Amino acid sequence: MFSLQYKNVVITGGGSGIGRAIALLFATQGAQVHILDLNMQAGRAVVDEIVQEGGAAKEFQCDIANQSAVKAAFHSIGLFDILVNNAGIAHIGKADDTNEDDFDRVMTVNVKGAYNCIHEAIPVFRQNKGGVILNLASIAALVGIPDRFAYSTSKGAILAMTMSVAKDYIHENIRCNSISPARVFTPFVEGFLKKNYPGREQEMFETLSKTQPIGRMAEPKEIAALALYLCSDEAGFISGCDYPIDGGFTKLNN
């Protein structure tokens, strides 16, 4: 079950965190993985990991906010079967203290970046007679998260984008779903704690972990496991759905 043998997969932001975990797992399941990342060095490191384990992977330095760059990368890749829109950036701030440049930057990367990749993927999927799109949304799209105005707005857009794409292309054998993680322990979280709580990293790590009813943050590999299912043929009857993976955050936090 959950084999991706003979599948070609494009993963944005595959050089670290959740994207890296998805790339490693998909390669283990037989996929040929194509990593798009702004950080060429990070993408290359993940490709090296995959190749050392006997898998197949390539990296492409690409700014997903630039449609011409995405078009060029996809042209180099050729036909593929699965697109995972994982790349994104975060921002801390409320509506009144988020400046215009920061708001534009978050929306350009998180929303326009996903749009650019979907825009270029649909013609490929038509040529393939079908395909799968998986978008990384967030619980920030589902519930109010303090000090995450721009980020929450962008992930709300991803959720709406998922439903729109699923509706528009269901009769062309193109499925589109999204995953909404809660806090996941990634290099971003480590950097956030170090920058904002120097000397109190462990204390704040415990505090953030306990905001989830399950009592801990998710591991990237747990998000990757759900991504694998939704991109596999076993999930062929699923489209237009969002899957919170949140340790009970959205339903059990009273």
Among 168, 160, 106, 104, residue whose Cα is nearest residue 137:
160
Among 239, 66, 85, residue whose Cα is nearest residue 158:
85
| Chain centre to alpha carbon of residue 175 | 16
Spans of the chain below 50 pLDDT: none
Residues belonging to the active site:
151
**What angle separates helix 67-77 from helix 113-128, to the nearest 10 degrees?**
30
**What angle separates helix 220-231 from helix 17-28, to the nearest 10 degrees?**
50
pLDDT number for residue 158: 98
pLDDT number for residue 193: 85
pLDDT number for residue 254: 62
- CATH 3.40.50.720 region(s) of the chain? 8-182+220-244
Q: By the 8 A CB rule, do 60 and 8 touch?
A: no
Q: By the 8 A CB rule, do 77 and 48 touch?
A: no
Q: What is the dihedral of CA 213, 219, 228, 226, to 10 degrees?
A: 0
Structural domain 8-182+220-244, CATH architecture: 3-Layer(aba) Sandwich (3.40)
